[in-house]
Amino acid sequence: MQLVYLSPVPWSSFAQRPHKFIAWFHATTDGDVLWVDPYPTRFPLFSDLRRIGSQESKENHAHPAWLRVIRPSALPIEPLPVSGWVNALMWQPMLKEIDAFSRQKPTLLVVGKPSVLALAVLKRLKGCNSIYDMMDNFPAFYSGLSRLAMRCREQELVRCVTFVLASSTALKKHWSGVREGIQLVHNGLDAEALPAPRSNVGSREKKVLGYVGTIAAWFDWNWVIALAKARPMDIVRLIGPVFAPAPGVLPENIEMLPPCNHQVALQAMQGFDVGLIPFKKNELTASVDPIKYYEYRALGLPVISTSFGEMALRGSEQGIFLSGEPQNLNHLVQKALLFSADDKAIQQFIAGNTWEVRFAAIKLKVIIYLTDPLLD
Residue 115 in contact with residue 374, Cβ under 8 Å?
no
Q: Mean pLDDT, 10 residues at a time, over the chain (376 residues)? A: 96 94 94 96 62 50 90 88 85 96 96 96 94 95 91 96 96 93 95 81 84 96 96 97 94 96 94 97 96 97 97 96 83 95 94 95 63 56
108 residue type, one letter: L
The answer to whether residues 160 and 208 belong to one domain is no
Residues 136 and 23 in one domain: yes
Say yes or no: 140 and 285 in one domain.
no
Q: Do residue 177 and residue 207 come from a single domain?
A: no
Confidence (pLDDT) at 156: 96
Position 76 scores a pLDDT of: 87
Q: Residues 6 or more apart from 162 whose CB is under 8 A from it?
A: 129, 130, 131, 367
Rg of the chain in Å (alpha carbons): 21
Q: H/E element holding 215?
A: none
Are 119 and 230 contained in the same domain? no
> Do 16 and 26 sit in the same domain of this protein?
yes
Q: Which domain holds residue 368?
A: 2-188+354-375
* Domains identified in the chain, total number: 2
Is 241 found in the same domain as 215? yes
Specify the pLDDT at position 325: 66
Q: In what order do the strands lie in the sheet with 254-257?
A: 254-257, 235-239, 208-212, 274-277, 303-306, 320-323
Same domain, 364 and 313: no
Residues 304 and 183 in one domain: no
Q: How many Å from the N-terminal Cα to the C-terminal Cα in the chain?
A: 11
**Which residue, among 55, 52, 33, 56, has the nearest Cα to 44 in the 3D structure?**
52
Residue 202 pLDDT: 62
Q: Are residues 369 and 326 in the same domain?
A: no
For 27, phi and psi rounded to 5 degrees?
Answer: -65, -30
Say if residue 204 is in the same domain as residue 56.
no
Give the per-residue pLDDT at 112.
97
CATH classification of the domain holding 347: 3.40.50.2000
159 lies in the same domain as 223: no
* Count of Cβ atoms closer than 10 Å to residue 82 Cβ: 8
